Every structure is written in structure tokens, then in C-alpha cells.
């Protein structure tokens, strides 16, 4: 499970075949930290910096991590990465508060996470003063490296071809060891990560200026979440794919030679999972 839809009204969104992106300029990393107790050796605000190695782990079998603001903000997506929620069989839900004096209520019901791949959880826009991910441990207490809240960029066109689903885009570096006589003694895996390209075609000049320019610049600042075809009718298999990665270069924009359409692409690397 990497794409989750709850309380989602299709008419308020672009079609579910269109990509959605959460990036540095449409997420809310401001506000103040709101969390439960943190286990020894883990980081209380690690999930807010975008790095997967500074993880949060609740101090007890249930816990929560989120943000609060002295004003209202709009949220329609939660991104989670660098976690072992699937391995531990843990559950997550989303709680919100809409008033200055926090009064937390359940907004999106609990979901059992099936694997350790990145998650994008979509729901109709919420106007909140606080939001948190509530965690219920499974076989052991999970760790979560990244939790981001925001209002996603919705692409104006779907992606039909040219994408390698991230789970199958592995890049593994090996260091083989040979004897003096040339016999293979074994090998050592130096690094395993994901890498690929996301093609973006048939962009109109209007969408280029209103949405893509901001996203393009945001990719220079930090990691991004991308569900490249989050079709709610196909939430298993290739379309249940979320990338949490870093752009290896700033995307270029070129004309397609078809009407006034333009095209671009995102080259990325990402943390591997199995």
C-alpha cells in the first residue's frame, strides 16, 4: 500500500489518473512540533526535515507526531517515507484540530500498512490548526523517518508511458572480490538505491506558469513525494506507486512541436526498499 484515499470526492480533484506531487513549496514544515513521547536514541522532530535517517519512534505502543499552527492551514495530503510500518504490521490514522485550543478528533480512520514503501494519503481539503499521524504498533514499535503535510500539486495531464515503477528501478553497486588466481571469492553490495525518470508531457503554457515553475524550483530545495498515476480504481500493482526521492538536476522545459504544448522530465534517486 502506498496510495491511500479516504473521504475523497473526485469532483474536487483532477482525475485520479493524473499525478500528484508534494514538494518543498507546497508542504507545511512551519508551525510547532506536536508529538507523544519519543523512544531513547530517536529524534523528536526528525520527520520534519525530509531526511530518512533521523527517525521518530514512539516511546510506547501508541503515539503520534504532527504539527500545530496559530492560524488555519489547508491540508489534503500526508506523505510518509523512511518507515517500517509494514514490517512491524502497524496502523496509522490522521487526527486534526480546527481550533486554537487543541481539540483533537479522528479525521481519517486507521489503515494497516502492508509494506515499507513511501505513502501518499489523499483526502478532501481540510482547514486545520493542527494535524497529526497517530501510530498503533504491531509486532514492534515502528520508526518513521519522514512525515510531511501539505496541499499537493495536481498535474493537468496523465502519464501514459516512459515510467519505470520505482520498486523496479533499482540501482545496486557491487564490489566483487577475486583471489590472486582469479577465482571469485564473493561480492559485497556497496549501495542499493532507486533511480529513474518521470516524463511530463503536454503541458500548457498556463499550467507551466501557474504550477510547474514553482514545482521545478522546489525540486532544487529538497526531496519530493510523487504518485505518478494514483488511480483509485487500481490501488494495487504498478499504479500503487509513490516515489520519495531527490531530483538529480533541475528539470528543463522544451517545446514539443505539437500545438503549443511543452514537456519536461524529473530525473531522481530514492532510497531503496524491498
The C-alpha cell 504518485 sits at 227
Lowest mean pLDDT among 36-45, 110-119, 160-169, 218-227: 160-169
- Is the C-alpha dihedral spanning 33, 42, 92, 13 positive or negative? positive
pLDDT of residue 212: 96
Query: What is the percent of the chain with per-residue pLDDT over 90, rounded to a whole number?
Result: 72
User: What is the rounded CA–CA span in Å between residue 67 and residue 28?
Assistant: 9
> pLDDT tens across 170-214, in order?
777 767 777 788 777 777 665 567 889 999 999 999 999 999 999
Written out in words, the top-level CATH class of the domain with range 3-154 is: mainly beta
Inter-residue contact 150 to 77 (CB < 8 Å)? yes
Domain with CATH 2.60.120.260 in the chain: 3-154
pLDDT for res 166 = 84
Q: What is the pLDDT of residue 233?
A: 63
- One DSSP character per residue, the chain reads --EEE-S--GGGSS-TTS-EEE-TTTB---SEEEE--B-TTS-TTGGGSS-SSS-B-BSSSEEEEEEEEEEEEEEEEEEEEEE-TTTTT-EEEEEEE-SSS---EEEEEEEE--SSS-EEEEEEEEEEEEEEEEEE-SSS---EEEEEEE-PEEPSS---SS---GGG-EEEEEEEEE-TTS-EEEEEEEEEEEEEEEEEEEE-HHHIIIIIHHHHHHTTTS-EEEES---TT--SGGGS-EEEEEESSPPP-EE-SSTT-EEEEEEEEEE---
Which tops the pLDDT comparison, 270 or 188? 270
Other Cβ atoms closer than 10 A to 163: 18
pLDDT band per the 50, 70, 90 thresholds, residue 81: very high
What local confidence, expressed as pLDDT, does residue 136 receive? Answer: 97
Dump pLDDT digits (tens) for 7-61.
888 777 888 889 999 999 999 999 999 999 999 999 999 999 999 999 999 999 9
Give the residue among 86, 133, 82 at the shortest CA–CA distance from 109: 133
Burial 89-116 (b: 16+ CB within 10 A, else e): bbbbbbbbbbeeeeebeebbeebebebb
Residue 128 has pLDDT above 70, yes or no: yes
**196 with 218: CB under 8 angstroms?**
no
Cell numbers that stand for 147 in this block: 512525515
In this prediction the pTM is 0.91
What does the chain come to in residues?
274
Amino acid at each position: 500500500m502506498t496510495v491511500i484515499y479516504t473521504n475523497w470526492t473526485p469532483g474536487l480533484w483532477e482525475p485520479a489518473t493524473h499525478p500528484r506531487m508534494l514538494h518543498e513549496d507546497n508542504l507545511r514544515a512551519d508551525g510547532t512540533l506536536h508529538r507523544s513521547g519519543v523512544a531513547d536514541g530517536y529524534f523528536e522532530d526528525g520527520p520534519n526535515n525530509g531526511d530518512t535517517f533521523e527517525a521518530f519512534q514512539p516511546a510506547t505502543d501508541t503515539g503520534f507526531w504532527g504539527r500545530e499552527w496559530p492560524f488555519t492551514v489547508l491540508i489534503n495530503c500526508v506523505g510518509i517515507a523512511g518507515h517500517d510500518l509494514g514490517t512491524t504490521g502497524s496502523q496509522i490514522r490522521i487526527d486534526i484540530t480546527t481550533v486554537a485550543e487543541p481539540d483533537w478528533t479522528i479525521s481519517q480512520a486507521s489503515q494497516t500498512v502492508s509494506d515499507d514503501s513511501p505513502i501518499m494519503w489523499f483526502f478532501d481539503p481540510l482547514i486545520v490548526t493542527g494535524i497529526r499521524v497517530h501510530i498503533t504498533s504491531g509486532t514492534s514499535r515502528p520508526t518513521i523517518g519522514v512525515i510531511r503535510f501539505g496541499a499537493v500539486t495536481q498535474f493537468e495531464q496523465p502519464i501514459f508511458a516512459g515510467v519505470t515503477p520505482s520498486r523496479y528501478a533499482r540501482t545496486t553497486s557491487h564490489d566483487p572480490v577475486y583471489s590472486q588466481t582469479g577465482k571469485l571469492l564473493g561480492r559485497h553490495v556497496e549501495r542499493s538505491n532507486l533511480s529513474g525518470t518521470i516524463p511530463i508531457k503536454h503541458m500548457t503554457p498556463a499550467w507551466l506558469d501557474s504550477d510547474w515553475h514553482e514545482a521545478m524550483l522546489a525540486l532544487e530545495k529538497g526531496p519530493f513525494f510523487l504518485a505518478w498515476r494514483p488511480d483509485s480504481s487500481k490501488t494495487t500493482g504498478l499504479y500503487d506507486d509513490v516515489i520519495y526521492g531527490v531530483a538529480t538536476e533541475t528539470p528543463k522545459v522544451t517545446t514539443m512541436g505539437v500545438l503549443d504544448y511543452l514537456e519536461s522530465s524529473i530525473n531522481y534517486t530514492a532510497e531503496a526498499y524491498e
